[in-house]
Amino acid sequence: MLLRSGNWRVRVADLPPAIALDPDEEEGLLGAALRDGQATYVSADLRDKAQVARAFEGAEVVFHMAAPDSSINNFQLHYSVNVEGTKNVIDACIRCKVKRLIYTSSPSVVFDGVHGIFNADESMPYPDKFNDSYSETKADAEKLVMRANGREGLLTCCIRPSSIFGPGDKLLVPSLIAAARQGKSKYIIGDGNNYYDFTYVENVAYGHVCAEKTLSSEDGAKIAAGKTYFITNMEPIKFWEFMSLILEGLGYERPSIKIPVSVVMPVAHVVEWTYKKFAKYGMKVPQLTPSRIRLLSCNRTFSCSRAKDQLGYEPLVSLKDGLKRTVESFPHLQAQNQRSVSKASIFLGNGNLAKTVLWADTKQTVTVLLLLAVIYYHLFTCGYTFITAMAKLLSLTALFLFIHGMLPTNVFGHKVEKLEASNFHVTQVEAHHVAHSVSSTWNSLVGALRSLCRGNDWPLFFKVALSLLIVSILSSMSSQAAFKIGTALVFTGFKAYEKWEDTIDSMVGDVCSILLHFGSTKKSSSQKQI
């Protein structure tokens, strides 16, 4: 982003002896800048004060983003890099007369691992006990940076970006897909209703640039220097819904099996203990740790009001667009031999109807089937007239909604989701969409009728004839039998089609070819007779 503005010469300092770019980076702006000297690379270990000072020589601004992998719960490692390393960064800034230091902190510095966070602002204090050593040492580093503000002309500012995602990610998406390929992504830790703030990587970069720009002006420095700022996409979303959107976008099933935290936490403690004992023998960092379980099951949302008002920060990329770009950047992680969306799901609209009919959400499907059973009982087996049956159903619905509205939000540890009036509201956009769908369907039928009237589309003729035959058979049945058979066909037929889609499509194609050949033969024979 700095290079794109054309106002900066950028120096990248990192731990490896040489910079290693991904192919898209090599061919993009950064690769070109490194080749023409607009950007340079220097190897430096934050724990070595001399190396840090050499890296900072001649710099006007420093963006300090270096930190170890947060999933490694090793206090000694995190302290040496996050705390001692940040001390070296501050000392080097003062020694090299750097004017501005923007430190990349974390929202985890206010998370205790026990209590959820909802729309917290920067007034939220540090907890007495932190979730892990990463959070604790990031908080210590943040305090150092804020205390350094004003020392020998150095202006400092701390940015707290929440849950970064985007193209180039080496942690979130790859680990999620690795779990999916091992069959581990089907589980939801907790009730699945915890909200999170995710931040697209370009918005994180923009937050840093906004902070630097604010500190560079005299008036802005009076406001922002020595302060912390939360940076998010300003679009809170359920954590597991976000994960599901990534998984579905890459062709994997969304998680659906909920496991209570009380069940999985003892297992996580055993896994972490095992890692501590065997890490020295090369054991990889486990995904299932107590600190991670707490992160996956708690609310963590933050207010960006201060960043918006004081830094002029606004997300450049929406959550939807960010997810789309992220998924498209990982074609090599697409599910093999698995469609991201089946034809059956597309036909059913890819929404709640598809999830219900295709058994994607078992709980929702069972609920709908029970509701259909109640409707069947009231309409057919009780001997009521249609109007009486509908009146009784509406009475039961009204009673259920009334009782549900009286219930507390938590019953015996189970969260009760309240129904909002907005759930039943139809927006103008939705109404236009429905009207457009109806008109499109009607126009398609008219188009089919035109083709039928020309008398040369035999496959269409056979499809229409077959459809009318099915309607004729259903109409000859009693409404009771039609309801039972229709329900069974819908909830088994679409699922069977989704499972054996290729086979069924092949069989239908063969039948259509035979019918088409038969139609062509009949047509040529009639022409000869004429």
* Nearest residue to 318 (alpha-carbon basis) of 219, 230, 202: 202
Model pLDDT for residues 401-447, shown as the tens digit of each residue: 788 778 777 766 666 666 666 556 666 655 665 666 566 567 667 77
User: Catalytic residue numbers?
Assistant: 138
In a domain, 482, yes or no: no
Torsion, Cα of 108, 114, 120, 122 (10° steps): -50
289 falls in which pLDDT band (50, 70, 90)? confident
Mean pLDDT of the 494-503 span: 76
Domain residues for the domain of 259 are 44-340
φ, ψ of residue 246 to 5 degrees: the values are -70, -45
Mean pLDDT of the 52-73 span: 92
CA–CA separation, 61 and 64 (whole Å): 10
Q: Residue 328 burial (CB < 10 Å; 0-12/13-18/19+)?
A: exposed
- What is the domain-level CATH number for residue 225? 3.40.50.720
State pTM to two decimals: 0.65
In a domain, 163, yes or no: yes
CB 290 within 8 A of CB 261: no
337 falls in which pLDDT band (50, 70, 90)? very low
In a domain, 25, yes or no: no
In a domain, 418, yes or no: no
Model pLDDT for residues 213-224, shown as the tens digit of each residue: 999 999 999 999
In a domain, 82, yes or no: yes
CA–CA separation, 33 and 39 (whole Å): 5
- Give yes or no for residue 301 having a pLDDT over 70: yes
CA angle centred on 200, ends 199 and 201, rounded to 5°: 110
- At 342 the pLDDT is 65
341 falls in which pLDDT band (50, 70, 90)? low
CA 428 to chain centre: 27
Helices 261-278 and 290-297, packing angle to 10 deg: 150
CB 344 within 8 A of CB 501: yes
DSSP output for 29-56: HHHHHHHHTSEEEEE--TT-HHHHHHHH
Q: How many Cα atoms are found within 13 Å in the side-chain-facing hemisphere of 257?
A: 8
DSSP for residue 255: P
Give the torsion sign (CA, 441, 442, 448, 452).
positive
CA angle centred on 62, ends 56 and 68, rounded to 5°: 95
The mean-pLDDT minimum among 88-97, 184-193, 330-339 falls in 330-339
Model pLDDT for residues 247-268, shown as the tens digit of each residue: 999 999 889 888 888 888 888 8
* Nearest residue to 186 (alpha-carbon basis) of 285, 115, 257: 257
CA–CA separation, 383 and 57 (whole Å): 89
Q: Which residue has the higher pLDDT, 22 or 300?
A: 300
H or E stretch including 257?
A: strand 257-259
DSSP for residue 368: H
Number of domains in the chain: 1
92 falls in which pLDDT band (50, 70, 90)? very high
In a domain, 385, yes or no: no
- Give yes or no for residue 524 having a pLDDT over 70: no
- Give yes or no for residue 472 having a pLDDT over 60: yes
Q: Which residue has the higher pLDDT, 466 or 84?
A: 84
CA–CA separation, 509 and 51 (whole Å): 69
In a domain, 413, yes or no: no
Structure tokens at 391: 């009146």
* Nearest residue to 62 (alpha-carbon basis) of 126, 177, 160, 158: 158
* Nearest residue to 110 (alpha-carbon basis) of 118, 98, 102, 99: 118
Model pLDDT for residues 156-173, shown as the tens digit of each residue: 999 999 999 999 898 899
Q: Which residue has the higher pLDDT, 63 or 259?
A: 63
Q: Which residue has the higher pLDDT, 236 or 186?
A: 236
In a domain, 445, yes or no: no
